[in-house]
Amino acid sequence: MFGIGMPELLVILVVALLVLGPKRLPEVARALGKGLVELRRATADITDELRSAQTMLENEARQATRVDRETDRGEPQGSAKKQSTQSDAEAEPQGKAGDGPSSPGSEEGKPERPN
């Protein structure tokens, strides 16, 4: 406790007894104890608040990292990989090779010329 050993603590108590007297020493000790309890409560509240703020910041950083990774992969923000894969499959219907504008050699939006 603050590097104070038993001999030092006894010296402090004897000096306090001589300075304050036997009648006033218990009152001062009681007030000092209450003050220390309040200090510990306030410190605990501040510690809890700092921990919750740290957790919130860590969660925001993780979310930002996920968004950065998604944009690096070319995925739209806020969408999961399954959603983008599913929407891609719905947007481009499967068909035979050479059918429609998605066939090789044809330009999108222009009809193919018959051979």
CA distance to 88, 90, 98, per residue, from 93 (Å): 9, 6, 13
Q: What is the pLDDT of residue 54?
A: 96
Q: What is the pLDDT of residue 71?
A: 85
Please state whether 80 falls in left (phi above 0), alpha (psi between -120 and 50) or beta: beta
Mean pLDDT per 10-residue run, the chain (115 residues)? 82 89 90 94 95 96 90 64 49 50 51 60
Angstrom distance (rounded) from CA 88 to CA 80 = 13
Confidence (pTM): 0.43
- Single-letter code of the amino acid located at 81: K
Domain ranges of the chain: 6-70
